[in-house]
Amino acid sequence: MLKRKNALKRSFMVRNRLPIGSGIKKGVTGQTGGNKRKPKTPEAKLKAELWELCKKITRTRHGNTCYTCEAPNLVGSNWHTGHFIPSSICGLYLRYDLRNLRPQCFRCNISLSGNGSAFYRKLVDDCGQPYVETIFSDKLRDTKSNKAFYQTLIDEYKTILSGEYS
Of 37 and 151, the one with more pLDDT: 151
The pLDDT assigned to 26 comes to 45
Same domain flag for 96 and 25: no
Estimate the crossing angle of helix 129-138 against helix 87-95, to 10 degrees. Answer: 90
Same domain flag for 82 and 129: yes
Burial (CB count <10 Å: 0-12, 13-18, 19+), residue 67: buried
33, pLDDT greater than 60: no
Q: Kindly state the percentage of the chain with pLDDT values over 70.
A: 77
Same domain flag for 83 and 159: yes
Q: Which domain holds residue 136?
A: 42-165
Same domain flag for 77 and 114: yes
The pLDDT assigned to 143 comes to 82
22, pLDDT greater than 80: no
The 10s digit of each residue's pLDDT in 108-125 is 999 999 999 999 999 999
Same domain flag for 133 and 84: yes
Please give the span between the terminal C-alpha atoms of the chain, in angstroms, as a whole number. Answer: 70
Residues pairing with 32 in the sheet: 24
Of 79 and 41, the one with more pLDDT: 79
The pLDDT assigned to 136 comes to 93
Q: Which band of pLDDT confidence, cut at 50, 70 and 90, is reported for residue 96?
A: very high
Q: Which band of pLDDT confidence, cut at 50, 70 and 90, is reported for residue 130?
A: very high
Same domain flag for 16 and 93: no
Same domain flag for 12 and 56: no
Same domain flag for 152 and 76: yes
34, pLDDT greater than 60: no
Same domain flag for 3 and 50: no
Average pLDDT of the chain?
Answer: 84
Same domain flag for 63 and 123: yes
For residues 66 and 104, what is the distance between their CA atoms, to the nearest angstrom?
4
Same domain flag for 9 and 81: no
Of 77 and 18, the one with more pLDDT: 77
Same domain flag for 104 and 120: yes
Counting the structural domains of the chain, the total is 2
